[in-house]
Amino acid sequence: MISVEQALEKILSRVDVLEEEQRPILDSMGQVLAEDIYSTIDIPPLDNSAMDGYAVRAEDTRGASQQSPRFLRVIDTVMAGSISGYEVEPGTAVRIMTGAPIPKGADSIVRFEDTDETERRGTPGEVGILGEVKAGLDIRRAGENIARGSIVLSRGVVIRPPEVGVLASLGRSKVMVIRRPTVAILVTGGELVDISRPLPTGKIYNSNTYSVAALVRHYGGIPKILGVALDSEDSLVTKLQQGLDADMLITTGGVSMGDYDVVKDVLAKEGEVVFWKIRMKPGKPVAFGRIKGVSKAGMARNILHLGLPGNPVSAMVTFELFARPAILKMMGKKNLAKPIIEAVIEAPIVNEDGRRIFTRAVVEKREGQYFARLTGPQGSGILTSMSLANGLVFVPEDKAEVKQGEVVQVMMLDWNEEVSG
């Protein structure tokens, strides 16, 4: 049996970054930028006003005060988006709104608050300036945010809402990004019934298809649902043919030692088995390899296959540990690790058989310290233990017991992958 680290290393060494594609900016969220973005324009494009006020010549305000205002003739009003046809000559001013281009001749802005504007009604023919201003005051310069020709976003950046905004501000509607992986999902088990059907006696609803598809989508992939295969090689092989167009196939169930656990046999026949057991709990039976075949489109394919355990909790935990980093790597991401924090454990955990234990926990911060509380019974069929949790507590292989009050490491499932390294 290999360790969690060895398993992840074997998986990631076989995962390649996918190709680039062009996407509309709003659809590129969460994808990795595959080009350097240069600006073809100055932002702002023209010198413009940072305030609502009057565009003036600074020298015309010299000596102005509350007691002795300087009166200027108002020759025009200019709004953001339009350009004044007038030139500000000595003794004149143009009423100007935030964002409007500075008219010719003006070199500074006097804010409304520093004029007698508020006492006047309607658009005044004249305005009293109540204080001196320096040249350049409240003017935003052309190109001051982004200069034409400069690099604005670099290849490798993950697109988040601010990047979508920056791209739009440059007038870009599409962008080159690393494409999202398609992940085919096939679950196995004669006991499984789809959620669209009534539940016959003796059967259970298939939840893995949906929890795994949700995880795939959550981490940026495109799930392709193949449905349920029965516990026979024929059924499995027929169904998985439908998934060979995908970048990766995830199966659940059928990888342990039971009589009907056919996934690893199929894997051995149809491809290559890299490993099928990991020293961890939950989730000892995890198979990884490749599946060869001809896709529906007639292409020879050799795709990654991750065989997760059937138990609903084990499937989700092993997905987080192994499928998630593989998907992120395919998407060109560099930070594949969830943040790991230290927390005080509020109940003991016993490690009976020398495996790495991952226990579902709720982490809370109290008075500057993290505390981890287990989410009740930890059976690997109890999916609500996953729903209640925000983290996974690690117990090392060589530690037989964690005592209450000890400091443990917790992988924070709800937090983003680490920002650095």
Query: Which residues form the interface with Mg ion (CB under 5 A)?
Result: 189, 253, 310
* Residue 207: contacted member of ligand AMP, Mg ion, none (CB under 5 to 8 Å, by partner type): ligand AMP
User: Which helix (H) or strand (E) element contains residue 165?
Assistant: helix 161-169
Answer with the entry of ligand AMP, Mg ion, none that 385 interacts with (C-beta below 5 to 8 A by kind): none
Angle subtended at Cα 215 by Cα 213 and Cα 220, rounded to the nearest 5 degrees: 95
Strand intervals (E) in 244-331: 248-252, 271-275, 280-281, 287-294, 300-308
> Of 26 and 204, which has the nearer Cβ to ligand AMP?
204
Q: Is 341 or 383 the residue whose CB approaches ligand AMP more closely? A: 383
Q: Quick one: 49 or 209, whose CB is closer to ligand AMP?
A: 209
Rounded to whole angstroms, the Cα distance separating 413 from 409 reads 13
Q: Least Å distance between CB 191 and ligand AMP? A: 5
Q: How far is the CB of 211 from ligand AMP (least distance, A)?
A: 8
Residue 206 interacting entry, from ligand AMP, Mg ion, none, C-beta within 5 to 8 Å by type: ligand AMP
Choose from ligand AMP, Mg ion, none: what does 245 bind? Cβ within 5-8 Å by kind: none
In the bound state with Mg ion, the residue whose beta carbon lies nearer, of 39 and 188, is: 188
Q: Could you give phi then psi for residue 26, rounded to 5 degrees?
A: -70, -25
Residue among 264, 307, 309 nearest 282 (CA) = 309
Taking alpha carbons only, the member of 260, 262, 221, 215 closest to residue 239 is 262
* Residue type (1 letter), 137: L
109 token code pair = 């802005």
Record the tokens describing residue 318, joined without a space: 């092993």
Closest residue to bound ligand AMP by CB: 310
Closest CA to 64 of 110, 109, 130: 130
Closer Cβ to ligand AMP, 309 or 391, answer by number: 309
Give residues in contact with ligand AMP (CB under 6 A).
187, 189, 191-192, 204, 206-209, 252-254, 256, 258, 309-312, 381
Binds 204: which of ligand AMP, Mg ion, none (CB < 5-8 Å by kind) = ligand AMP
